[in-house]
Amino acid sequence: MRIGVPKEIKVHEYRVGLTPGSVREFVGRGHEVVVETTAGSGIGASDKDYRAAGATIGSVEDAFAAEMVVKVKEPQPLEWSRLREGQILFTYLHLASDQPQTDGLLASGVSAIAYETITDAAGGLPLLSPMSEVAGRLSIQAAASSLERHSGGEGLLLGGVPGVPPGRVVVLGGGVVGTQAAKVAVGIGAEVTILDTSLRRLRELDDLFGGRVRTRYSNADALEEEAARADALIGAVLVPGASAPRLVTRQLLRKMKPGSVFVDVAIDQGGCSETSRATTHAEPTYVEEGVVHYCVANMPGAVPRTSTAALNNATMPIGLALADRGLGALENPHIAAGLNVHLGLLTNRPVAASLGMEWSAFSPTSAA
**Integer Cα distance of 188 and 207 in angstroms:** 20
Please tell me the total number of residues recorded for the chain in this structure. Answer: 368
CB neighbour list of residue 68: distance below 8 Å, 6 or more residues apart: 1, 2, 3, 4, 87, 88, 89, 90, 319, 322, 323
Of the candidates 94, 196, 231, 342, the residue annotated as catalytic is 94
Residue of 231, 268, 293, 342 marked catalytic: 268
Q: Are 315 and 332 in contact (CB under 8 A)?
A: no
CA angle, corner 28, sides to 23 and 32, nearest 5? 60
Active site residue 94: yes
Q: Considering Cα of 159, then 160, then 161, then 162, what sign does the dihedral take? A: negative
DSSP notation for 229-265 = H-SEEEE----TTSPPP--B-HHHHHTSPTT-EEEEG
Paired with 2 in beta bridges are: 32
Side-chain-side CA neighbours of 332 within 13 Å: the count stands at 16
- The question of whether 268 is a catalytic residue gets the answer yes
Catalytic residue numbers? 94, 268
